[in-house]
Structures are given as structure tokens and as C-alpha cells.
Amino acid sequence: MSDAGGFFKRVYVLVRRIPRGRVATYGQIARLAGAPGAARTVGWALHALPKRSGVPWHRVINARGGISTSCLTHPADEQKLLLIEEGIRVTKSGMVDLARYQWSK
DNA sequence: CGTATGACGAGCC
DNA sequence: AGGCTCGCCATAC
């Protein structure tokens, strides 16, 4: 399940472990997945991830605490709303205070 | 097996 | 804060 050529799966498992009201960066997930530097691959994993998969993809943001979504199927506006509904303060520009909300195992 | 891609990261302006 | 360039890494074709 969490192994066997499924780097993506490993990412999904880690994202699911992010507690509600907390966020993580792509680089952080990549590092926990055992591939520091593969932040881009993490983003791609979530990109291919359907919302109904149950993975809180909206809790994953970039190192600057911003929403980088350029994906039309996953609008940044929706991600922003989801984060706000979890109690996370997000600026109009979609910036999150990492120092306060970044997930720490 | 080589090239292209991508929801990134860090550095620089 | 926002934008551009280069570098890293795992898939897709």
C-alpha cells in the first residue's frame, strides 16, 4: 500500500496525516516521503489526485505559505475557502502564516 | 532509454 | 510582496 513503486501513494498517506487546521509544504512532504527536493513531484501527485480520494490536498502549500495552484480543476479560490473553514487565516492573496500553521509531526 | 513535464525551492531583482 | 532563472526529482510518453 504505502510502498511498491508508489511514491505518489506515500505522498497521499503523509497528506492524510496532516491534522485539521494545519498545513504543510510540498518540500516537507517530499522530505517525509524520503525524497528531499522532489517537491515538484509531490505537487504532481496531488495534481493527479481526485478530490473524492479523501486526501486533504488543500492543506498542502508552497514554502512561502502561498497557494500556487495554476490548475483549473483545482481552483486556488476553493483551496483558500477550505483552509479558512478549518480555522486557518488566509490573506486575500492566498498567503498563509507558516510560522503559525505549518504542520510539525 | 532519452526527452518533456510539473499544484516546487532557493536565490536574485 | 511579486516576478524571473536555475536546479532537483519522480512520472509520462
With H, G, I as helix, E, B as strand and everything else as coil, classify residue A23: strand
Tell me, what's the pLDDT at A5? Answer: 53
The size of chain A, in residues, is: 105
In this prediction, residue A49 carries a pLDDT of 87
Give A7 CA → C13 C1' in Å.
19
Render pLDDT for A41-90 as a digit per residue (tens, 0 to 9).
999 999 888 888 899 999 999 999 999 887 767 788 889 999 999 999 99
Verify if strand B has an atom below 7 Å from the CB of A55: no
Q: What is the mean pLDDT of chain A?
A: 89
Contacts of residue A24, Cβ cutoff 8 Å, sequence gap at least 6: A14, A15, A18, A59, A60, A61, A102, A103
pLDDT of amino acid A95: 93
Q: Distance (Å) from CA A30 to C1' C8?
A: 11
Please give the model's pTM, rounded to 2 decimal places.
Answer: 0.91
Please say whether the beta carbons of A51 and A57 come within 8 A: yes
| Residue-level pLDDT at A2 | 42
Q: Are A96 and A83 contacting, i.e. CB atoms less than 8 angstroms apart?
A: yes
Q: What is the spatial distance, in angstroms and rounded to an integer, between the CA atom of A44 and the C1' atom of B9?
A: 15
